[in-house]
């Protein structure tokens, strides 16, 4: 495991006289946090493109705010001639649309596609192991987590871009699980029994109010599957074990846990960037 910190701490500002109400101060803190996250993610996006993408590469283009910033910056590098002959492989309709607007030449993903490097957002990443969760975002029915994971896992090199609070030793929240539609309820019951007391299982809704059964308009992906959200009510102690358990359940097609692959985490904060990887270390032999 390698870890590098880039950048330096920001100077502390003098305390200001408190003149706002509690509610307004809270909203101001949220706004400052959002602006700070945006600036940090832009720095991470530029670092990702400048460090890992070379002319002539086929690049997997991720989904999410950080990936959008990286796609825009990559497009500018192509227009300026800093990079040439890049072909983008979008992970979603969103990233494909953003890449087309940025002027990046695109190709459709196929199982035989060569992908030299891929970048993506992670919803949360387990500190130390770099096991990540993707797919918590709101989906359109035409999207596919299968394609997103295939590109992520099939890339020659992979980087996840996250903000500091998403890189944590206390993973919580939900894991999206893709299941066959025809027996989704049976599969949901098996998942619920497996994680009884630790999580709830809800079928994701395409629109309207959500509910355990998916409401009036349950989401069906372009692959013809339903999405179950496995919502943990206590911290997730080991993401890799959760993934392994889900893989053994009949009816589970895929899920949002990415584990067991070499990758780099680019962790953005107002203090700079931290680069952590789980890449295999080269062994040198002495005689």
Quote the pLDDT of residue 145.
86
Handedness of CA 99, 104, 109, 113 (dihedral sign): negative
- On whether the 2-7+32-277 domain is CATH 3.90.1150.10, my answer is no
Quote the pLDDT of residue 35.
54
CB 143 within 8 A of CB 176: no
Question: How confident is the model over 119-128, as pLDDT tens digits?
Answer: 999 999 999 9
- The residue extents of the domains of the chain are 2-7+32-277
Handedness of CA 165, 168, 174, 177 (dihedral sign): positive
Quote the pLDDT of residue 175.
96
Quote the pLDDT of residue 75.
98
Q: Are strands 257-258 and 132-133 parallel, antiparallel or unpaired?
A: antiparallel
Residue 105 or residue 221, greater confidence: 105
- Taking 70 as the threshold, does the pLDDT of residue 32 lie above it? no
pTM for this prediction: 0.84
Quote the pLDDT of residue 144.
78
Quote the pLDDT of residue 287.
36
C-alpha dist (Å) from residue 75 to 122, 259, 268: 22, 30, 21
- Taking 90 as the threshold, does the pLDDT of residue 203 lie above it? yes
Token pair for residue 282?
């080269």
Q: Which helix (H) or strand (E) holds 34?
A: helix 22-52
Mean pLDDT, residues 152-164 taken together: 96
Residue 114 CA from chain centroid, whole number: 21
State the Cα–Cα distance between residues 55 and 84, nearest whole angstrom: 5
Quote the pLDDT of residue 100.
97
β-bridge partners, 174: 231
Residue 44 CA from chain centroid, whole number: 14
What's the distance, Cα to Cα, between the start and end of the chain in Å?
26
Quote the pLDDT of residue 59.
98
> What is the CB neighbour count within 10 angstroms for residue 187?
22
Which of these, 229, 227, 255, lies nearest to 241 by C-alpha position? 255
> What is the CB neighbour count within 10 angstroms for residue 74?
27
- Confidence band, pLDDT 50/70/90 cuts, at residue 13: very low
- Taking 60 as the threshold, does the pLDDT of residue 15 lie above it? no
Residue 19 or residue 227, greater confidence: 227
- Taking 80 as the threshold, does the pLDDT of residue 275 lie above it? yes
Quote the pLDDT of residue 82.
97
User: What is the full DSSP assignment across 209-259?
Assistant: ---TT-TTSB-B-TTSEEEEEEEESS--S-HHHHHHHHHTSTTEEEESEE-
């Amino acid at each position: 495991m390698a870890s590098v910190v880039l950048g330096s701490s920001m100077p502390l500002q003098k305390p200001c006289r408190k003149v706002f109400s509690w509610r307004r101060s809270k909203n101001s803190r949220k706004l400052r946090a959002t602006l700070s996250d945006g600036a940090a993610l832009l720095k991470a996006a530029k670092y990702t493109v400048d460090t890992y993408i070379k002319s002539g590469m086929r690049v997997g283009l991720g989904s999410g705010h950080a990936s959008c910033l990286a796609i825009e910056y990559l497009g500018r590098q192509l227009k300026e001639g800093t990079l040439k002959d890049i072909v983008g492989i979008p992970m979603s309709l969103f990233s494909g649309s953003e890449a087309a607007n940025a002027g990046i030449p695109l190709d459709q993903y196929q199982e035989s596609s060569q992908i030299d490097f891929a970048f993506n957002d992670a919803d949360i990443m387990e500190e130390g192991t770099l096991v990540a969760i993707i797919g918590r975002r709101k989906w359109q029915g035409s999207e596919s987590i299968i394609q997103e994971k295939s590109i992520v896992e099939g890339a020659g090199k992979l980087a996840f871009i996250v903000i500091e609070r998403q890189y944590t030793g206390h993973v919580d929240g939900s894991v999206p699980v893709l299941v066959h539609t025809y027996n989704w309820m049976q599969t949901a019951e098996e998942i619920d029994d497996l994680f009884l007391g630790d999580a709830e299982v809800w079928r994701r809704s395409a629109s309207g109010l959500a509910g355990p059964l998916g409401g009036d308009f349950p989401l069906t992906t372009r692959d013809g599957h339903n999405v179950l959200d496995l919502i943990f009510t206590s911290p997730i102690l080991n993401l890799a074990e959760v993934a392994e358990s889900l893989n053994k359940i009949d009816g589970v097609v895929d899920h949002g846990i990415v584990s067991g692959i070499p990758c780099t985490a680019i962790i953005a904060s107002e203090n700079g960037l931290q680069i952590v990887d789980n890449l295999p270390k080269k062994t040198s032999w002495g005689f």
